[in-house]
């Protein structure tokens, strides 16, 4: 009997690779001779590069600008002429050293990483857009790739979304990515601006006050009017503070559901071969899971092949019916063993190993 363990991370406690390793160990405790394959997955957010590396891609470290302009070391994953770039590597919230900067944080570092990958010969870029610290409409990313954003006097704009309100023209003469195929991996379907746009929905978690949200939304409207108004309402334009918009409007990127794209890239179909059970999971199984997060994507593919799928998590807020609708036969949560969320976070690995013992008894024959 073969089991495929394909979880996402437990955010704040265990990486996807660590979750997979702990589950594999727990299964082996109960069934020592069991054949277990691990394939950590991601849906385009943080952990995407790590998942690609685990699946056989090579990690490449490069210098890039963080959201405030300070230099950081970021990485992308490469195999052949395909590069997996994770926006959060250079432009994520964790790259803010001294606090949130909702008006001035920039996506330039993501452009730095893309430029490095293209310079190294990559002609297909898979861009995972999650965990962004900025709401700059992807303008910073474009400037790093050679674009110039100018005000009415012909001066280049400073970094950040706030400055976009002064945008008068966009010079793309220095940008040359015509022979590069860019695919966006995201589960976000928000437009660029408006009540469901990047500023209103995601700005507050990046530190934006109500006044800041209004300011940023107006700035994104100005940005769209010049960079590509027909793209502003497209699903996903609001991803990563508007990076989705810039990628589609200016770079010609195509958007695909993050988990679908990443499962294809990681070779999930091949890994499923001869599996009798799939174990997936993430930190919180909730309504967002049903909207295209990694466990739902894994379960959907497994169900299409007639393979049962169960999930592990830190907590589970889905009913049995909701789980079944997603293709998940059963869910096992750390809170089943330990009701204190703080202890679940601090002791995630040993609790998960114990939880996997229950799973093994329930779903694997001796």
Average pLDDT over residues 104-118: 98
Are 333 and 280 a contacting pair, CB within 8 Å?
no
Is 349's pLDDT higher than 90? yes
Tokens describing residue 351? 């609790």
Are 227 and 248 a contacting pair, CB within 8 Å?
no
Residue 246 CA to residue 232 CA, distance in Å, equals 9
Compute and round to an integer the Cα radius of gyration of the chain: 21
Residue 97's CB is within 10 A of a number of other CB atoms, namely 10
Residue 205 CA to residue 282 CA, distance in Å, equals 21
Q: Which residues contact 332 (CB under 8 A, 6 or more apart)?
A: 310, 311, 312, 313, 316, 355, 356, 358, 359
Tokens describing residue 38? 């691990």
Residue 288 CA to residue 279 CA, distance in Å, equals 19
pLDDT band at 366 (very low <50, low <70, confident <90, very high): low
Torsion of CA 172, 174, 175, 176, to 10 degrees: 130
- The domain ranges of the chain are 2-39+272-363, 48-259
Residues 274, 299, 55, 247, CA torsion sign: positive
Residue 365: what pLDDT? 81
- pLDDT 10s digits, 228-276: 999 999 999 999 999 999 999 999 999 998 899 999 999 999 999 999 9
Taking domain 2-39+272-363, whether its CATH number is 3.40.190.10 is answered by no
Tokens describing residue 291? 């909207």
Residue 232 CA to residue 81 CA, distance in Å, equals 30
- pLDDT 10s digits, 118-150: 999 999 999 999 889 999 999 999 999 999 999
Residue 323 CA to residue 355 CA, distance in Å, equals 18
Residue 280: what pLDDT? 98
- pLDDT 10s digits, 182-196: 999 998 899 999 999
Tell me if residue 227 falls in helix, strand or coil. Answer: helix
Residue 167's CB is within 10 A of a number of other CB atoms, namely 20
| 139 bridge partner residues | none
Helices 294-304 & 258-266, crossing angle to 10 degrees?
A: 60
Residue 79's CB is within 10 A of a number of other CB atoms, namely 16
Just give the CATH number of 48-259.
3.90.1510.10
């Amino acid at each position: 009997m073969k089991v495929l363990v394909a979880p996402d991370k437990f955010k704040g406690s265990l990486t996807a690779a660590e979750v997979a390793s702990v589950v594999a160990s727990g299964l082996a405790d109960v069934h020592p001779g069991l054949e277990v394959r691990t394939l950590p997955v991601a849906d385009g957010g943080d952990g995407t590069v790590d998942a690609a590396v685990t699946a056989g891609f090579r990690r490449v470290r490069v210098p890039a600008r963080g959201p405030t302009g300070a230099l950081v070391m970021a990485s992308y994953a490469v195999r052949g002429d395909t590069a997996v770039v994770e926006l959060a590597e250079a432009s994520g919230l964790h790259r803010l050293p001294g606090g949130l900067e909702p008006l001035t944080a920039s996506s330039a570092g993501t452009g730095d990483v893309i430029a490095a990958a293209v310079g190294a010969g990559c002609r297909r870029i898979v861009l995972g857009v999650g965990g962004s610290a900025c709401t700059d409409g992807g303008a910073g990313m474009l400037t790093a790739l050679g674009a110039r954003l100018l005000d009415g006097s012909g001066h280049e704009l400073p970094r950040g979304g706030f400055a976009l309100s002064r945008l008068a023209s966009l010079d793309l003469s220095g940008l040359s990515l015509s022979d590069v195929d860019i695919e966006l991996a995201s589960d976000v379907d928000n437009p660029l601006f408006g009540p469901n746009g990047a500023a209103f929905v995601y700005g507050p978690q990046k530190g934006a006050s109500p006044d800041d949200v209004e300011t940023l939304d107006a700035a994104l409207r100005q940005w769209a009017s010049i960079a590509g108004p027909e793209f502003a309402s497209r699903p996903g334009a609001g991803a990563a503070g508007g990076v989705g918009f810039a990628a589609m409007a200016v770079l010609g990127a195509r958007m695909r559901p993050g988990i679908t794209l990443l499962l294809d890239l990681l070779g999930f179909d091949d890994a499923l071969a001869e599996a009798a059970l799939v174990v997936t999971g993430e930190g919180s199984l909730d309504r967002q899971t049903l909207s295209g997060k990694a466990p739902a994507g894994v379960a959907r593919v497994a169900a299409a092949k007639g393979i049962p799928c169960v999930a592990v998590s830190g907590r589970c807020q889905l009913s049995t019916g909701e789980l079944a609708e997603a293709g998940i036969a059963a869910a096992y949560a750390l809170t089943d063993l330990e009701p204190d969320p703080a202890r679940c976070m601090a002791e995630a690995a040993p609790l998960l190993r114990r939880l996997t013992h229950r799973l093994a008894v329930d779903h694997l024959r001796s």
